[in-house]
Amino acid sequence: MTAKRQPPSIRKLRTLILVALVAGVAVFTGVMFTLVQSLSERFGPQVAADLDWRALRGAQELARASDVGLAVSDTGMVTDAFGVYAQSSDVQAIVAVDAKDQTVASHGKIASIAPVFAAKPGTLVRGDGYVASWAPAAIEGNQVGKVAVVVSTARLTDAQSVLSRVSNTTLIAGVAGALLGALVILFFTHQVSVRDGQLKDYAATLEHKVEARTRELDERNRGMRLVLDNVDQGFLTIDMDGMLASERSSIVDRWFGAPAAGERFTAFVGRQAP
């Protein structure tokens, strides 16, 4: 026969649960953090590329749309040519100058447009919080002006900030979840341990009570046996069904012989007086 396997102790069970909890939270946090990092690596460059494209493409489109206005130095025509670019939240500034580098129309604000126009046309100029580009406006091969588009990088900064917060929140949530779960497990296992100790105390107390009561009954039985063994009368103990109990005076056995176990009183007496 194989020995009966004992259930794990509260301490061992608590350790196993804590290890499983920490491992599960660590895996979940690691997976989420990896996904956020992957999203950050993909999303950030995509936003940056979109802003660069907006600056390059915007300068080229506005240079073509405002060539006539620049040729005649008509501010209204040039301003109308800005169109949806002037309504975009990404566009920080638009500056259109004529062939003499005189500003004909502008939109938004920029500290200095000179670094942008100092670069080669169709290239990107990066400054503090912006990316810009400019393109020449020409009619039949004759340059009539230039248009620069300055795009704010605030959206890229915001996206990177949000992704960074999500990464940090994921890590903090993972650590907090592990700590909270550990505290809950420790609390409940402690309560179970306390209750288990109380039950053991109750069981020990009950065992002592049973032992004391058994000793008391044994003492009473010995006293009754002493009395029954030293009287000249035949005393028998009979239950409500007429069955003989073991308690009887010893003289009964001498007079009638010992009754059989579980024998009825009528059968026992009937053997002596049918």
pLDDT tens-digit readout, 29-60: 777 767 766 666 666 678 888 889 999 999 99
Give every CB contact of residue 80 below 8 A, 6+ residues apart in sequence.
69
Averaged pLDDT for residues 205-232: 80
More confident call, 172 vs 43 = 172
Backbone angles phi, psi at 143, to 5 degrees: -75, 125
- Written as six digits, the tokens of 140 are 């039949």
Q: Are 106 and 94 in contact (CB under 8 A)?
A: yes
**Predicted pLDDT of residue 39:** 65
Quick: pLDDT tens for 220-257.
777 777 777 777 788 888 989 889 888 888 888 888 88
The β-bridge relationship of strands 130-139 and 91-98 is unpaired
**Mean pLDDT, the chain, whole residue set:** 83
Q: Supply 247's token pair.
A: 């308690």
CA–CA separation, 13 and 186 (whole Å): 11
Cα–Cα distance measured from residue 63 to residue 50, given in angstroms and rounded to the nearest whole number: 20
Looking at residue 4, what is its pLDDT? Answer: 56
Tokens standing for residue 210: 């049973």
DSSP state of 243: B
**124-133, 160-169, 242-251: segment of lowest average pLDDT:** 160-169
